[in-house]
Amino acid sequence: MKRFRHGLFPKSRLFVVALGIAAGFVVAFFVPQMLVAMKLLLAVFLGLMLVEILRLYAMGLSPEVRRITAPVLSLGSKNPIVIELRNRSQVAFRGTFIDELPEQLQLRDFQIAFSLSGGETQKLEYMLRPLMRGEYHFGDLLLFIESPWRFFSRRVVIPAGQMVPVYPSVIEMKQYELRTFASLSNSQGIRKLRRIGHSYEFEQIRNYVQGDEYRSINWKATGRRAELMVNQFTDEKSQQIYSAIDVSRVMQLPFKGLSLLDYAINTSLVISNIALRKQDKAGLIHFNARTLRVIPAERAYTQLRKLLDGLYNLKEDNLETNLELLYMSLRKQVTQRSLVFLYTNFESMPALERALPLLRRMNLHHLLVVIVFENEEISQLAASDPANLEEIYIQTAARKYVTTKLQLVNTLRQQGIQAIYTKPDDLSTHTVNKYLELKSRGMV
Q: Looking at the domain assignment, is residue 2 inside a domain?
A: no
My answer on whether 176 and 162 are in the same domain is no
Does the structure show a pLDDT above 70 at 235? no
Q: Looking at the domain assignment, is residue 211 inside a domain?
A: yes
Residues 6+ apart with CB under 8 A from 113: 94, 95, 96, 97
My answer on whether 273 and 337 are in the same domain is yes
Least confident span in 76-80, 91-95, 367-371, 400-404: 91-95
What is the edge-to-edge ordering of all strands in the sheet holding 367-373?
A: 292-298, 281-287, 240-246, 338-343, 367-373, 418-422
My answer on whether 387 and 374 are in the same domain is yes
pLDDT at residue 241, as a whole number: 94
Q: Looking at the domain assignment, is residue 5 inside a domain?
A: no
pLDDT at residue 240, as a whole number: 93
Q: Looking at the domain assignment, is residue 51 inside a domain?
A: yes
pLDDT at residue 91, as a whole number: 78
Residues 6+ apart with CB under 8 A from 144: 9, 95, 96, 97, 98, 153, 154, 155, 156
My answer on whether 243 and 331 are in the same domain is yes
pTM score: 0.75
My answer on whether 291 and 367 are in the same domain is yes
Q: What is the DSSP letter of 182?
A: S
Q: Looking at the domain assignment, is residue 105 inside a domain?
A: yes
Does the structure show a pLDDT above 60 at 123? yes
Q: Give the tens place of pLDDT for each residue, 277-330.
A: 888 999 999 998 888 899 999 988 889 989 988 888 888 888 888 899 999 999
pLDDT at residue 323, as a whole number: 92
pLDDT at residue 317, as a whole number: 80
How many C-beta atoms lie closer than 10 Å to residue 330's C-beta?
22
* E strand residue ranges, 277-407: 281-287, 292-298, 338-343, 367-373
pLDDT at residue 29, as a whole number: 86
Does the structure show a pLDDT above 80 at 214? no
Residues 6+ apart with CB under 8 A from 388: none
My answer on whether 177 and 306 are in the same domain is yes
Confidence grade of residue 203 (pLDDT, cut at 50, 70, 90): low
Residue after which a domain boundary falls, among 180, 209, 234? 234
Confidence grade of residue 196 (pLDDT, cut at 50, 70, 90): very low
Between vectors from CA 307 to CA 302 and to CA 312, what angle results, nearest 5°?
125
Backbone angles phi, psi at 95, to 5 degrees: 175, -155
My answer on whether 298 and 310 are in the same domain is yes
The chain-wide mean pLDDT, for the chain, equals 85
Q: Looking at the domain assignment, is residue 401 inside a domain?
A: yes
Q: Looking at the domain assignment, is residue 6 inside a domain?
A: no
- What one-letter code names the amino acid at 193? L
Q: Which residues of 229-248 are buried (b: 16+ CB within 10 A; e: fewer)?
A: bbbebebeeebbbbbbbbbb
How many C-beta atoms lie closer than 10 Å to residue 337's C-beta?
13
My answer on whether 333 and 280 are in the same domain is yes
pLDDT at residue 186, as a whole number: 47
Q: What is the CATH number of the domain that holds 126?
A: 2.60.40.10
Confidence grade of residue 210 (pLDDT, cut at 50, 70, 90): confident
| Cβ atoms 245, 267 nearer than 8 A | no
Range of the domain at 30: 11-58
Does the structure show a pLDDT above 80 at 158? yes
Residues 6+ apart with CB under 8 A from 338: 239, 240, 241, 242, 283, 297, 366, 367, 444
Does the structure show a pLDDT above 80 at 79? yes
Instruction: Report how far residue 400's alpha carbon sits from residue 393's, in angstroms, rounded to the nearest whole number.
Output: 11
Percent of the chain's residues with pLDDT above 70? 90
Between vectors from CA 280 to CA 276 and to CA 282, what angle results, nearest 5°?
65
Q: Give the tens place of pLDDT for each residue, 330-388.
A: 999 998 899 999 999 998 999 999 999 999 999 999 999 999 999 888 988 888 888 88
My answer on whether 148 and 18 are in the same domain is no
Q: What is the DSSP letter of 217?
A: B
pLDDT at residue 200, as a whole number: 52
Confidence grade of residue 415 (pLDDT, cut at 50, 70, 90): very high
Confidence grade of residue 183 (pLDDT, cut at 50, 70, 90): very low
My answer on whether 265 and 347 are in the same domain is yes
Q: How far is CA 428 from the centre of its chain?
A: 11
My answer on whether 136 and 187 are in the same domain is no
* Higher per-residue pLDDT: 367 or 199: 367
What's the first-to-final CA gap in the chain, in angstroms? 58
My answer on whether 247 and 123 are in the same domain is no
Going by DSSP bridges, is the β-strand pair 141-146/152-158 parallel, antiparallel, or unpaired?
antiparallel
Q: Looking at the domain assignment, is residue 17 inside a domain?
A: yes
Domain count, the chain: 4
Q: What is the CATH number of the domain that holds 429?
A: 3.40.50
The whole-number average pLDDT for the span 66-86 is 91
| Cβ atoms 419, 413 nearer than 8 A | yes
